[in-house]
Amino acid sequence: MLLAWLLVLLGLMSLWVQLATHEQAGLSFVPRLERPPRFLELERRRPTNLGCRECLRGRLVVRRASPTIGMKLRFAQGALLRWWRGSVGAQILSDVDDTIKCSGGPRGGGIDEKEIYPGAVQFMLEIARGRAAGTFTKDRPPPNVRLLSARPEKLGFLRMKPTSKVAREFQRVAKANELPSWGIDFQGSKYGRIRDVFPALLGDFRPFGRTKLRNWEEVLGNDVGQQKAVFLGDNGQGDVQAARDMAMFGPPFVAAFIHQVAERKAVDHPRIRYFHGYLEASKIALQIRLISPSGHCRVGRDVNASNLARLCRLHAADPQTYSHYPCISETGDLLWPDGSPVPEALGLRADDQTTRLRKCGSSKAMMLINQGNRCAKLLAELEEFRRWEQGFDKGSLQLLQPLYRMLVRTQIAAMVAALKEEQAAEVKKKDYCIENLQKNRLASDDKKREGDEFSAAAEDLKQKVKALEMQTADVQAQVGELKKQQKLAAQNREKENAEFQKVVEQQRQTQVLLKNALSVLAAFYNKKDEGSFLQKANPKEPETFGGYKKNSANNGVMMMLQQLMADAKEMEAESTAAEREAQKDYEDFGKETIAALATKDKELQDQAEQKAKLSERMVQARQSKEGAEAEVQNLAGLKEDLHETCDFLVANFDARQKARADEVEALLEAKSNLSGAK
C-alpha cells in the first residue's frame, strides 16, 4: 500500500515538473505567437487547444485558450507515462546534409565534403537511449533514426541507401555499442519536393521548412504524450523555421539541436539549442537531462577516438610534420604525404568517415588537417571534456562509495549464485554427456548390426535372383527348341504330304494306264476268228513267211500287267496307310509340343513372379541397409558433436569444479571484507 502511494506521489511530482517545464519553455497557455499560414492550415485539420484567431495589422496572431480538463489529463498522461518508462530515450528526426555529414561549400566550416561530423551518430544513439540506456538490448533496441531531408523524393538517387557512408557509420556505432539492429529507419524517413528547390535557388528556404514540418506531423503529429521527439538540423536551409514550428505544438517535441554552419541570426527559443560540434551538443543534452553522464562520456570518447581528433592532436604537437591528411596506397596502407607509412600505434583507420582519406596520387589527396582552423576548437572541447570526465569520475566515487560497496556485495552474491548454478549445470551436463555418448554407442552398434544383416539378406536374395534367372534362361532355351522342333515337324509334314500326293497320283496314273493296256490286250486276244476281219494270204507272197496266227504267250503278258496293277494298288494302299500314320504322329507330336509349351510358359510365369518378389525383397533389403547406414552416419555426426561439446568438460570437470569452488570461497571472503569495511 505504501509503495502504491509512493508511486502516486512521484507521478504527481513528475506532472508538476512537466507543467513547470512547459511554463519555463514559453509554452504558457495564452502566448502570442507569430505563425506561418501553413501552420494554421495544419491546426485546422488537427484538433488542438486553439481558442481564437485574429488578424491585426496584417500580422497573424494565435491565442490559445485556458487549459481544459482534457488538456490537463493529456499532459498528465504523457508525464506519468514518461516517468513510468524511466525517461527512456526519444525518437530522433534528423536532417542529413550539414547535420550528419558535410555537404561542402562555404557552410562546411572547414570540413571536407562528404565527411561525417565526429560524434554525430553516437550523439543520436545516446539521445535515442536517453538516461536509461541499460533498458535497451539487442532484442529491444532504441528507436531508429528517421530522416527529414530536403532532398527531393522524386530523385531516387538522392535517397539514403543502406550502402551509403552515413549508413555504414550508423552500422559501426551500432556494432560498437552492441545494438546491431539500431540504425536508420529507411522506410519511415521523409524527403522533400522538387518544387521547393526553385525558391531555394533564389535564397528562400522557407518551403524546405514547411515541407519538413508537414513530414514531421505525418510521422509524430498524432503521438502526443506517447514518445518524446528530438529534431536535429542546421541553420543553412529552413531547419530553424521547421524547428520553431515543431516547438509550437508542444509534446511530443522536447528539443531541437541546430548545427551552426552559417553566420545567421539565431531564433531565441528555449527548446531550440545551437551547437558547433557534437561534443558541445552532448553537453547541452546532458544539461537538459536528455542523456545520462555515461552517455555524454560515450559521445566524448567517440569524438576523441575519431581520425580527425587524432590528426588534430598530431598537428598541434608538430604543425610542420603533420599538416596534411595521409592517403591510401594501392595495397590499402596509410601513407604520409612524403611516402612514409603511418604507424599503427597512432590508431588511424582508413574507413573512418570523419576524415575522407583518398587514394595516393589523387589531386585532392593532400587535404589540410587544420583547414578552417577547426582543430583549435575541437581540441579545446576535448580538453574541457577530459577535465569534466575526471571530475565526474572522482566526485562520483567519493559520493557513491557506500552505495558502490553495497552494489559490489550484491554483485558478489549474484556471482556466487551464478557460479553455483554453473557448477550444478556442469554436473548435469556431464551426466548428460556420459549418458548420451553411451546411448549413441549402443545405437550405433545396433544400426551397424542391422546394416550387416540387411546387406547379407540383400546378397542372398541377389544370388537367388541370379539362380532363378539362369533357370529362366534354360526354360526359355527349351521353349525355343520346342518351337524349333514344331516348326521343323510342320515343314517335314508338308514335304511328306507333298511326296505322298505325288506317289499316289503316279500309282493311280500307272493303274489307269495298265488297266487300259490290259483292256486292249484282252479285247484283242479274246475275240474269235472272223473272215471278214481276217487278212487272207496273198498268193503272191513268198512261202517263207507262212500264214499269220496269234501269239500263244499272250496270257503271260496280261498276267504281268495285272500283277503290275496289283502292285500299284498295293503301293497306293501302303502310301495311304503311311500318310495316315505320319499325319497321326504329326498331330500327336503337335499336341505334345503344345502341352510342353504351355507347361514351360506356366513355369516361366511362375519364375517371373518369383523373381519380382525376390527383387522387391532385395530392393527393400538394400533400402533398409541404406537407411541403417544413414542412421549410422547421423549417429556418428551426433557423436562428433557430443565429443566436441563434452570432451573438454569431461576431461577438465574436476579441475573446473575445484576452480569454481575456490572462486566462490574467494568471493565470499571478499564480501565478508566489504561488509566489515567502513
3-state secondary structure 64-114: ECCCCHHHHHHHHHHHHHHHHCCCECCEEEECCECCCECCCHHHHCCCCCC
| Helix pair 554-651, 401-525: axis angle to 10 deg | 180
Q: Choose one of 275, 305, 335: the last residue of a domain.
A: 305
Q: In which band, very low, low, confident or very high, does the pLDDT at 122 lie, cut at 50, 70 and 90?
A: very high
The count of structural domains within the chain is 3
| E runs forming strands in 24-85 | 32-34, 50-56, 59-64
Amino acid identity of residue 397, one-letter, is L
Confidence of residue 678 (pLDDT cuts 50, 70, 90): very low
Q: To 5 degrees, how large is the angle CA 461–CA 466–CA 471? A: 125
Q: Identify whether residues 192 and 134 lie together within a single domain.
A: yes
Show the CA angle centred on residue 612, arms to residues 607 and 613, nearest 5°: 100
pLDDT score for 533: 45
Grid coordinates 539565431 are at which residue? 266
SS3 497: helix
Tell me the one-letter amino acid at 624. S
For the residues 176-195, what does the mean pLDDT come to?
88
C-alpha 169/C-alpha 352 separation (Å) is 8
Structural contact between residues 328 and 349, judged by C-beta atoms closer than 8 angstroms: no
pLDDT at 114: 72
Query: Can you list the positions of beta strands (E) in 193-282?
Result: 229-234, 253-259, 272-275
**Are both 239 and 180 inside the same structural domain?**
yes
End-to-end CA distance of the chain: 35
DSSP character at residue 126: H
Average pLDDT over residues 144-171: 87
Q: What is the pLDDT of residue 485?
A: 85
Tell me what percent of the residues of the chain surpass a pLDDT of 70. 76
With a cut of 60, say whether residue 309 has pLDDT above it: yes
- What three-state secondary structure class fits 532? coil
Cα angle 509, 512, 518; round to 5: 140
- Specify the pLDDT at position 59: 33
Does pLDDT of 224 surpass 60? no
- Candidate ranges 10-24, 298-312, 518-532; pick with highest mean pLDDT: 298-312
256 contact partners, CB below 8 Å, separation of at least 6: 230, 231, 232, 233, 243, 246, 247, 271, 272, 273
Q: Taking all residues of the chain, what is their mean pLDDT, rounded to a whole number?
A: 76
Of the listed ranges 50-64, 87-101, 118-132, the one predicted with least confidence: 50-64
382 and 425 housed in the same domain: no
**142 within 8 A of 296, measured Cβ to Cβ:** no
Q: Does residue 163 sit in the same domain as residue 92? A: yes
In a shared domain, residues 366 and 497: no
Whether residue 541 is contained in a domain is answered as: no
- The residue from 289, 305, 321 where one domain ends is 305
pLDDT tens track for 588-624: 888 888 888 888 888 888 888 888 888 888 888 888 8
| Amino acid found at 472 | T
Lowest mean pLDDT segment, chosen from 70-79, 414-423, 511-520: 70-79
Burial of 176 per CB tally in 10 Å (0-12, 13-18, 19+): middle
pLDDT of residue 401: 55
C-alpha to C-alpha distance for 311 and 664, rounded to whole angstroms: 48
Tell me the pLDDT band of 85, cut-offs 50, 70 and 90. Answer: very low
In the prediction, which pLDDT does 350 show? 82
Please tell me which residue, 61 or 632, carries the higher pLDDT value.
632
Residue 612 to residue 614: CA distance in whole angstroms? 5
Cis peptide preceding 199, ω within 30 of 0? no
Mean per-residue pLDDT for 404-410? 69
- Residue 483 forms part of a structural domain: yes
Residues 27-36: tens digit of each pLDDT: 333 333 333 3
**Stretch (H or E) spanning 149:** strand 146-152
Check whether residue 375 and residue 512 sit in a common domain: no
Last residue of a domain, one of 386, 419, 436: 386
- Per-residue confidence (pLDDT) for residue 282, from 0 to 100: 92
The pLDDT of residue 344 is above 70: yes
If you ran DSSP here, which 8-state letter would residue 345 be given?
A: G
Residue 63 C-alpha cell reads as 491565442
Give the pLDDT of residue 125: 92
More confident residue, 172 or 527: 172
Domain CATH number, residue 203: 3.40.50.1000
Q: Is the pLDDT of residue 257 over 90?
A: yes
45: three-class secondary structure by DSSP: helix
Could you please report the per-residue DSSP string of 58-71? TEEEEEE-PPPHHH
The more confident residue out of 139 and 538 is 139
Between these two residues, 331 and 409, which has the higher pLDDT value? Answer: 331
Domain carrying residue 322: 306-386
On whether residue 72 sits in a domain, the answer given is: no
Q: Which residues of 556-583 are buried (b: 16+ CB within 10 A; e: fewer)?
A: eeeeebeebbeebeebbeebeeebeeee
Is residue 587 helix, strand or coil?
helix
Cell 545567421, residue? 264
Determine the average pLDDT of the residues in 401-417. Answer: 73
Q: Report the alpha-carbon distance of residue 274 to residue 261 in Å, rounded.
A: 10
Residues 313 and 173 occupy one common structural domain: no
More confident site: 186 or 47: 186
Q: Which of 31-45, 194-208, 305-319, 453-467 has the lowest mean pLDDT?
A: 31-45
Residues 501, 415, single domain; the answer is: yes
The pLDDT of 574-594, averaged and rounded, is: 84
Question: What is the SS3 assignment for 221?
Answer: coil
604: its cell numbers: 516361366
Mean pLDDT of the 76-98 span:
65
Query: H-helix or E-strand containing 410?
Result: helix 401-525
pLDDT band at residue 636 under the 50/70/90 scheme: confident
Does 59 map to a domain?
no
Q: 398 in a domain, yes or no?
A: no
CB atoms within 10 A of CB 553: 7
Residue 615 vs residue 542, higher pLDDT: 615
pLDDT score of 127:
92
| Residue 384 predicted with pLDDT over 70 | yes
Q: Tell me, what CATH number does 658's domain have?
A: 1.10.287.2610
**Dihedral pair phi/psi, residue 351, rounded to 5°:** -95, 10
Task: Return the half-sphere exposure (C-beta side, CA atoms, 13 A cut-off) of residue 261.
Answer: 28
Q: Is 645 helix (H, G, I), strand (E, B) or coil?
A: helix
- Asked if 225 and 351 sit in the same domain, the reply is no
Strands of the sheet with 91-94, listed across from one edge: 190-192, 146-152, 91-94, 229-234, 253-259, 272-275
pLDDT tops 80 at residue 552? no
- 172 and 191 fall within a common domain: yes
Pairing of strands 146-152, 91-94: parallel
Place of cell 524527403: 191
| Domain annotation covers residue 678 | no
Q: Do 301 and 312 have their domain in common? A: no
- Residue 461 CA, chain-centre distance (Å), reads 46
Query: pLDDT tier at 264 (50, 70, 90 boundaries)?
Result: confident
Going by pLDDT thresholds of 50, 70 and 90, the confidence category of residue 123 is very high
For residue 649, tell me if it sits in a domain: yes
pLDDT, tens only, 432-444: 888 888 888 898 8
Please state, in angstroms and as integers, the Cα–Cα distance from residue 298 to each residue in 93, 292, 295, 397, following that order.
21, 10, 5, 18
Give the confidence band of 62 by pLDDT, cuts at 50, 70, 90.
very low
Q: What is the pLDDT of residue 281?
A: 92
**Whether residues 474 and 493 fall in one domain:** yes
Task: Using DSSP bridges, classify how beta strands 59-64 and 334-335 pair: parallel, antiparallel or unpaired.
Answer: unpaired
Reading phi first (left if > 0) and then psi (alpha if -120 to 50, else beta), residue 175 is in alpha
What's the pLDDT score for residue 487?
Answer: 86
Question: What is the rounded average pLDDT of the residues 344-373?
Answer: 79
Q: Name the band, by pLDDT with cuts 50, 70 and 90, for residue 170.
A: very high
Contact 148, 92 (CB under 8 A): no
User: Comparing 112-121, 221-230, 481-490, 660-669, which segment has the lowest mean pLDDT?
Assistant: 221-230
